[in-house]
């Protein structure tokens, strides 16, 4: 829902527009609403923050409309103010959250909002762009800063979910999941914690907690099987031995 679509509306019209848009999401079998509330990370100016795209009032209305329809709301936000407003709006998750700052990290923990840090996006830029270019160096610094935020988040008890932003430069579907888990480990999560971020925490965020993400009596058996030592898990994930989908082994 880009802001320019909403700008000419008064409060009542805005409410109607949000309601109509979200109603279409529901009837067209969408499961989530994603709101983009900030710009992208700068690859030229380290730590440059952009302004929120929506007023806090608009964000709150959008979240309320979505929740009334049973839809979760993820908010793309980088920088202190866009993330602060996203948290204030009552959203379900913050996507990216680069440069959100310590206070916002604490609030994610206190208010049990899931964070999807997508750290690998910056490593992928650093790897893919010309090695000594300014963009590559800023991307590397963005990554280091994000890893510091993840360290803090772990200490505060923030629920972190793996998400990749696959499709971004150098970020490929599937493989990027492994890369993101690796970075969570680099930032100090234990192996079990990182696996939970990629499975049960992500599933719960998507509202799939009763159908996926956790192996327990009564839930469908959907899992990968690898033959390796725990410390080699990430390597082995690229070549799983077995794949079981809802209780049925399929060819790998
Ligand atoms: Zn995004």
* Whether residue 156 is found in the same domain as residue 242: no
Q: What is the tens place of the pLDDT at every residue in 41-87?
A: 999 999 999 999 999 999 999 999 999 989 999 999 999 999 999 99
Q: Do 240 and 178 reside in the same domain of the chain?
A: no
Residues 178 and 81 grouped into a single domain: yes
The whole-number pLDDT of residue 11 equals: 52
Say whether both 235 and 130 belong to one domain: no
Check whether residue 123 and residue 241 sit in a common domain.
Answer: no
Ligand 1 centroid to 85 CA: how many Å?
16
Q: What is the DSSP letter of 38?
A: S
pLDDT of residue 117: 98
In this structure, of 91-105, 164-178, 187-201, 218-232, the range with the lowest mean pLDDT score is 218-232
For ligand 1, the distance from its centroid to the CA atom of residue 32, given in whole angstroms, is: 14
Question: Ligand 1 centroid vs 248 CA: distance in angstroms?
Answer: 34
Helix (H) or strand (E) holding 212: none
- Number of domains present in the structure of the chain: 2
Tell me the CA–centroid distance for residue 121 and ligand 1, in Å: 11
The pLDDT of 3-15, averaged and rounded, is: 45
Ligand 1 centre and the CA of 81: distance in Å?
16
Residues 239 and 192 in one domain: no
| Average pLDDT of the segment spanning 86-101 | 98
pLDDT for residue 14 is more than 90: no
Ligand 1 mean position, distance from CA 57 (Å): 21
pTM of the model: 0.88
pLDDT of amino acid 9: 41
The model's pLDDT over 133-180, given as tens digits with 9 standing for 90+, comes to 999 999 999 999 999 999 999 999 999 999 999 999 999 999 999 999
Same domain? For 123 and 14 the reply is yes
Distance 229 CA to ligand 1 centre (A): 34
Q: How far is the CA of 117 from the centre of ligand 1 (A)?
A: 10
**DSSP per-residue letters across 12-32:** HHHHHHHHHHHHHHHHTT--E
- Mean pLDDT in residue range 184-211: 93
Q: State the CATH number of the domain containing residue 48.
A: 3.20.20.140
Task: Report CA(250)–ligand 1 centroid distance (Å).
Answer: 33
pLDDT of residue 19: 67
How far is the centre of ligand 1, averaged over its atoms, from the C-alpha of 112 (Å)? 20
State in Å: Cα 95 to ligand 1 middle.
6
CA distances from 110 to 87, 106, 113, 250 (A): 11, 6, 8, 41
Do 65 and 184 fall into the same domain?
yes
The single-letter DSSP state of residue 5 is G
What are φ and ψ of residue 192, in 5° steps? -60, -40
Please report, for residues 9, 16, 95, 119, 244, the alpha-carbon distance to residue 141 in angstroms, rounded to integers and kept in the order given: 40, 43, 19, 11, 39
Domain range holding 225? 221-252
- Give every CB contact of residue 128 below 8 A, 6+ residues apart in sequence: 169, 170
- Segment 241-251, tens digit of pLDDT: 999 998 999 97
How far is the centre of ligand 1, averaged over its atoms, from the C-alpha of 157 (Å)?
A: 23
77 and 8, same domain (yes or no):
yes
Taking 70 as the threshold, does the pLDDT of residue 27 lie above it?
A: no
Give yes or no: residues 147 and 242 share one domain.
Answer: no
Q: How would residue 219 be classed by pLDDT, with cut points 50, 70 and 90? A: confident
Q: Are residues 22 and 145 in the same domain?
A: yes
């Amino acid at each position: 829902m880009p802001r320019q679509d909403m700008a000419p509306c008064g409060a009542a019209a805005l409410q109607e527009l949000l309601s109509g848009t979200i109603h279409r999401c529901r009837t067209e079998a969408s499961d989530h609403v994603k709101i983009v509330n900030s710009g992208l990370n700068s690859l030229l100016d380290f730590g440059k923050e952009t302004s929120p795209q929506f007023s806090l009032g608009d964000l709150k209305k959008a979240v309320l409309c979505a929740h009334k329809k049973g839809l979760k709301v993820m908010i793309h936000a980088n920088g202190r103010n866009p993330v602060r407003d996203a948290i204030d709006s009552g959203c379900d998750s913050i996507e990216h959250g680069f440069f959100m700052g310590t206070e916002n990290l604490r609030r994610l923990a206190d208010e049990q909002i899931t964070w999807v840090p997508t750290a690998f996006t910056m490593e992928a830029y650093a790897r893919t762009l010309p090695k000594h270019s300014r963009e590559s160096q800023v991307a590397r610094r963005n990554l280091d800063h994000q890893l510091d935020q993840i360290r803090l988040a772990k200490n505060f008890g923030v629920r972190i979910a793996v998400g990749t932003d696959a499709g971004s430069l150098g970020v490929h579907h599937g493989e990027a999941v492994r890369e993101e888990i690796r970075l969570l480990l680099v930032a100090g999560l234990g192996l079990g914690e990182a696996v939970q971020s990629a499975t049960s925490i992500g599933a719960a965020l998507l509202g799939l907690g009763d159908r996926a993400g956790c192996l327990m009596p009564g839930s469908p058996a959907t899992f990968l099987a690898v033959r390796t030592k725990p410390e080699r898990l990430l390597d082995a994930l690229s070549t799983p031995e077995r794949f079981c989908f809802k209780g049925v082994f399929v060819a790998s």
